[in-house]
Structure 1
């Protein structure tokens, strides 16, 4: 039993929280809306995984880096944190990309009006 994979996921989630806080992208922009969207995404993918497990499409791979804790047959604890990370990463990339494009767009408009 090892917690390496879970620890890596938690470190990555922590880094995502710091990035979010620094640039006010998701939770620091609108915490209520972010919580709802993140929860809905997580539930969607948990149901998706459950359907895949029932249909025999998904199976838990064995690894010495995982805790060995399963929440249901073929459903390891780490999967919940991976799906949470995946959903949060998607929101950060979406709003981060939007912020970059907005900044580039306002910069281009600013240069065009000077000349």
Structure 2
């Protein structure tokens, strides 16, 4: 089913955004800093991917779950969405850890 991976990424990203909003962890506590961190992290990992693709280390597989749209050779449209989700998830886990330490 083409696009299922992107759909699941967006559902997961929505879940982390809802957790973030509910507990005011990152984007709802410091939106500018958090959005900047997500953007810088995503850009860093996209550069990392580009280096891996250029070196022949990273290649796109033939999954029927991918949408089939590539931003560049071996770089599916799902990759930046995944990287942004990963950066946001890291932010909220970090914030949750520090919030827990402040309460305890």
Structure 2 length as normaliser, TM-score?
0.97
Shift of 1:50: 0.3
TM-score (norm 1): 0.88
**Does residue 81 in structure 1 map to residue 81 in structure 2?**
yes
Is 1:4–2:33 an aligned residue pair? no
Shift in Å at residue 2 of structure 1? 0.8
Which 5+ residue runs of structure 2 have no aligned equivalent?
none
1:63 aligns with 63
Equivalenced residues, count:
104
Structure 1 residue ranges, 4+ long, deviating more than 3 angstroms after superposition: none
The DSSP-based 3-state class of the residue aligned with 1:64 is coil
Between the aligned partners of 2:92 and 2:40, the Cα distance in structure 1 is 16
Correspondences of 1:1-115 after superposition (within 5 Å): 2-104=2-104
Q: Considering only aligned residues, what root-mean-square deviation do their CA atoms show, in Å?
A: 0.9
